[in-house]
């Protein structure tokens, strides 16, 4: 089974969870376009990086989820990320061969998460985001403007079986 990004559930509501995500390293590519084409174009360089497309020629284990986050200031740009295996640190990760792939350290973060099934299309993801934001308002949880679409399954898995999450940082 594919390892998943580590988190701790802090509180559970009817529609969502509040989680504390552990610090981690991500490999990220910024791409322009609509959600579907952007995530498709970003996947290849990211997969290349973990498949020994790095200066140390080391294979890196695949983890879940693949995260797509729209840039708040530009609705046509997306950051698509792979989470590196737990315990990775920025300083011990091999450098990418592809200049499109950027490594970043992420600090611990408190977020809300809402899970849904189906192929994570732009339309289905927007509906899930709207449900999560409405549920958070109802529970008086203040959210940031950033929204992450987290996909856990390979694209060849039948769409109705695919598991996804919308993850939104809590605003401070």
Report domain extents, the chain.
3-169
Angle between helices 35-50 and 122-138 (to 10 degrees): 90
- The answer to pTM > 0.85 is yes
Q: Say which residue, 46 or 1, is predicted with more confidence.
A: 46
Give the mean pLDDT of 54-62. 89
In the predicted model, what is the mean pLDDT of residues 80-101?
Answer: 94
Does 40 score more than 70 pLDDT? yes
Residue 68: burial class (beta carbons within 10 Å; 0-12, 13-18, 19+): buried
User: Quick one: tokens of 56?
Assistant: 């140390």
CATH architecture of 3-169: Alpha-Beta Barrel (3.20)
pLDDT of 169 reads 97
Mean local confidence (pLDDT), 110-118: 97
Q: What is the C-alpha separation between 131 and 78, in angstroms, rounded?
A: 22
- Residue 90: DSSP 8-state: G
Q: Which of 31, 32, 27, 24 is nearest to 102 (CA)?
A: 27
């Amino acid at each position: 089974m594919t390892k998943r990004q580590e988190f701790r559930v802090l509180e559970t509501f009817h529609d969502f969870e509040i989680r504390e995500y552990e610090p981690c390293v991500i490999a990220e590519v910024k791409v322009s376009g609509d959600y579907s084409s952007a995530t498709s174009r970003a996947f290849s360089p990211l997969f290349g990086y973990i498949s020994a497309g790095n200066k140390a020629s080391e294979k890196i284990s695949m983890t879940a989820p693949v995260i797509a986050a729209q840039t708040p200031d530009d609705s046509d740009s997306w950051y698509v990320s792979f989470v590196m295996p737990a315990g990775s640190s920025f300083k011990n990760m091999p450098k990418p061969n592809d200049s499109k792939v950027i490594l970043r350290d992420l600090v611990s973060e408190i977020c809300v998460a809402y899970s849904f099934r189906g192929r994570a299309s732009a339309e289905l993801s927007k509906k899930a985001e709207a449900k999560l934001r409405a549920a958070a308002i109802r529970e008086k949880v203040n959210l940031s403007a950033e929204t992450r679409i987290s996909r856990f399954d390979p694209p060849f898995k039948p769409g109705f079986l695919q598991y996804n999450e919308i993850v939104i940082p809590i605003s401070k």
